[in-house]
Amino acid sequence: MSTEPILRKLPVDLEEIDSCASSADSSWSDAGVIGYVDTETGAVHPISVDPLRAAEEGESPGELAEWEKRDYNLAVMIRRDKTGRYQRVEHWESREEYRLMEEFAQASRNPAVRAQLLQAITGKGAFSRFKDVLFRWPEVRRAWFAYRDQAHRQWAQEWLNSLGIEPVDVSKYAPPPVPESW
């Protein structure tokens, strides 16, 4: 007899989790931002690596940039946490994004679009070629972003469920529904 784990409902910004998980491909990666979810409150905390490093090494926040000092106390709490309260949001790996692109391309009902997308994701440079094809088909581009955003939210929900959290999404952005065809 298997029983479903009891999940605690918490308000969580799924868009913020997606931003943290996607940060490897954004300007945030230059700043070195790592996201954490507070499993007691549902709050999502994107924190620069410099305050995290300072907290880990027991340094004072004096050497940090002014905007990083705000994160220092939270970084100290995260680094000292031994209970698992703060869970790191892992970055999307390129193979996961590639799998999404492949699924999206395969699902196209338009043979020309499907062929172009599948050709684009073959070999080195697949991500930029995929984007190039999307720019040629604006309606397909919109469908891709809806598809990707929904998949990322689904991943975030499943990950939070594995932490015992049933997220109540408080994001300001709601992705559009995925069209039935593209």
Residue 179 is assigned to a structural domain of this protein: no
Indicate the residue among 89, 122, 140 that finishes a domain: 89
Mean pLDDT score of the chain: 91
% pLDDT > 70, the chain: 94
pLDDT tens readout for residues 54-112: 998 988 888 888 888 889 999 999 999 999 999 999 988 889 999 999 999 999 999 99
Claim to verify: residue 106 and residue 127 sit in the same structural domain? yes
C-alpha 149 chain-centroid distance:
9
Domain that includes residue 112, residue range: 94-169
Phi-psi region of 19 (alpha: psi -120 to 50; beta: other; left: phi over 0): alpha
When pLDDT is cut at 50, 70 and 90, the band that residue 29 belongs to is very low
Indicate the residue among 68, 89, 110 that finishes a domain: 89
Claim to verify: residue 16 and residue 68 sit in the same structural domain? yes
CA-to-CA dists, residue 101 to 26, 118, 119, 156, angstroms: 18, 9, 12, 18
Residue 182 is assigned to a structural domain of this protein: no
Task: Give the Cα separation of 97 and 162 in Å (integer).
Answer: 21
Question: Which residue do the tokens 């931003």 mark?
Answer: 19
Q: What is the pLDDT of residue 31?
A: 54
Q: Looking at the whole model, is its pTM more than 0.75?
A: yes
